[in-house]
Structure 1
Amino acid sequence: MRRRTLVAVCVFATVAVWASDSLGLTTLESGSQSEATAVTAAPGDVVLLPCYSDGSVNPLQTRWLKDGRELEELRVTPGDDPQRRLVVLGDGSLNFRSVAGGDEGVYRCEATLPGNVTWRARVVLQVANIPSRHPDCSWHLAGDPTEVFFSCTWPDCYPDPMLIWSQHQDADLERPGHVLASNVTSVLQVSINRSLLAQGHTLRCVAQHLKLVGGLNRTCSFTLDEPHPQISPLVWAQEGSNMTLVCTETASVPPANTTWRRAAEVAPLTPSAKYILSQDGSAYSLTIVNVSRDDEGDYFCQSENPLALRQTDVYLKIRGSSDYTGAVVGIFIAALIVGLSAVAAKVLFANRHRICLGGPFGPLDEDRGDVLSLVDSDEDQIFQAIPRLPPITEPHPTTMVQIHRLPSGDQEDAGNQSTREEPQQLVNL
């Protein structure tokens, strides 16, 4: 693996006497805080932070501090454990065999030189960091409702990347789009008039960095789509209970801001003792605590994104305890009527023969086997099985009905040839 070696060189043109005491000790400092040497390295690079650059003199003792705190593990003499990642060399320099994340900071060297002279130097080490994730694209409305802010953020990146916002007429990002803004920063924001946005347009943020392997860039984008909130149009609730209204919105790109409103109120509803607002993915819930008749009415679920504002409404109907009582009584009466109708129909069906013959209701005691024979009084010939009827004195033809009793199966006997005569009943029709 190829690694770079970076050496920080201090500038000593501003070296000055900082302090002296009665013991003859002199303290020198390399430059001011604003003139501290800065070194930028990538993870894995070899870096050398110098302390005293006069090659003819080596410090008698060297002490390194990072962000104001002494690094105890660096207090070694030349030749001690050369395989360590951090080593203080003979000239007092701090050697990083392989820079890693977390090594960045302000380093201060304090070296004791021959002649009881103390030397101080400052070096700022900056370790390049490329986040593994892509930039984050977001949006919000400006003070002017016709303007929309799009923001691209790529935090924890060092040094700052080049961020570029561009607009494309469709989702084909291979073709170059219109560049809206670009800058070397970790956060880039651009303002766009809503009239310039349309369904299907794509807004893309590209993050470029010299440390990206192969020149591959990181991106985030929006392919704009209008919101379409959905909710049931009518909901019933029992007075005194808690009622939850749920609105779903899944089509909006970028994700829409969804709020709840009442028909008589302009401002969106906010969490309170009466209303509980929650979100679970694409479901936005409004819970009304202890509903009453005053809570009855229209509630609007409103979703807004850079393209458009869409809303849908639900009507909340409140039932009182008396409403339930009347409903129960009505259901009981309806069930009673249906039951009585079924019983009456069954009785009529069971006595259908009696009804046709004009007999009384009730169960049949026996199968009488009566037969009705229609006889025309003007006929001369009558079947032998039926005795002749007496003459009728009435001048106009009359139909007579004669009832005969037919023998049942258990009364018939193959050995008995005698027949039993039944009394005849004549009915004049």
Structure 2
Amino acid sequence: MMMTTVKLLCLCLCATVLVWADEPSSETTITASPGDVVRLPCYGDGQVTPSLTTWWKEGRRLSLGETQTDAGDPPSSPTHAGPRLGLLEDGSLDFRWVREGDEGDYLCSAQLPGNVTWRARVLLLVANVPDRHPECTWVQSQDRTRVLFNCSWPGAYPPPTLRWAEDQGEQGAGRVFASEVTDSLTVALNRSLLSGGQTVRCTAQHLALARARERSCSFLLEPPYPEGEPLVSAQEGSNITLACTESTSTPPAATTWRRGLEHAEVVVGAKYFLSEDGPACRLTIANVSKDDEGVYFCRSENPLGVSELEVYLTVRASSSAYTGAIVGVFIAALIVGWAVVVAKVVYANRHRVCLGGAFGRPHDDDDDRGDVLSLVESDDEQIFQAPVPRLPPLTDTGHTTLVQIHHIPSCEQEDTGMTAPEEEETREELPDLVTF
């Protein structure tokens, strides 16, 4: 009994080997998507019906009548109820719906009248093409001069061929950076391979898509260009925030703040605080002082290059200092005003001071004050109302300049109490005319 079983197994194995070893009578390739209804042909002549048909998949004999639970996760439609695989009268293998995993080599063996064996080979390709395009993303590497571009197209079956290349518009693809059969492809590009205005494209190729229907995604590369207010003013003792926005670069740039002509990097702490809100990068300076005044740089860098925005901070004095300055100016103006008033009063009474009047000098009674005033008035009349002698007529025809000199008594002479006739006697005789 044991020997009989062994012989039967050997016969089966030999038959299987013979089936795969013999050249098939026909070969067919069919491409389908998950959920499609597919029929694998065996014998193509519709006038003859095979008496016995057997199907193998990659050397394994198929058990027809596979039910829904045997096939994995079928579509929810009621039309897919019942057995998923069936054998038709002409020997064809019928898939009521196809799922991932059905792809492979199928071999059919059919017995025809006259003891003729017909063998057919069918290559089934199950392809799933996502409706969306691939997704292009970037990842900043540790080295600022390099950038990682990633292209992902999940859900495609079998896996597509992804390719990163330079897009030259109507001229087509330029340099190819990477190409691989996978659903996710990452390529590291150096700064030397990139430039502003350049387009880098990822193309997804699939056997179920014609070349004209390829799916793709791309990046239009742009260098950084930070923007903000170049001049900022703050009051001493307050908090000030310097803002910088960089939203045009692709890939997005990394933004930092630096200070001074030495471009020293700002260290976050109790004095400086950094915050980011999307493309905006802000530097807050607490308790601003004169030491914080100067130039600051908003520095943006991506693999295409580096760009800086220069911001100059001016620090004003505090309000208390302004108040002291205003009070000082007011007091100085008040002192100058009083000095002007006193000067005007003194100047307006200068003749009384010179003639020994009562200005600025105390008097015992009103009578004395009146006597002095009368004396001054008498002197004024004697001095300024005296007749002026006439000059004799000129007889010489030469150019002669005549000057008449009058003597006006000084304050000291007035204090002596001399009258006008006495003053005339004591005065030296001066020449009336001076000829030049």
TM-score when normalising by structure 2: 0.45
Structure with more strand by fraction:
1
Higher helix share: 2
TM-score (norm 1): 0.46
Bigger radius of gyration among the two = 2
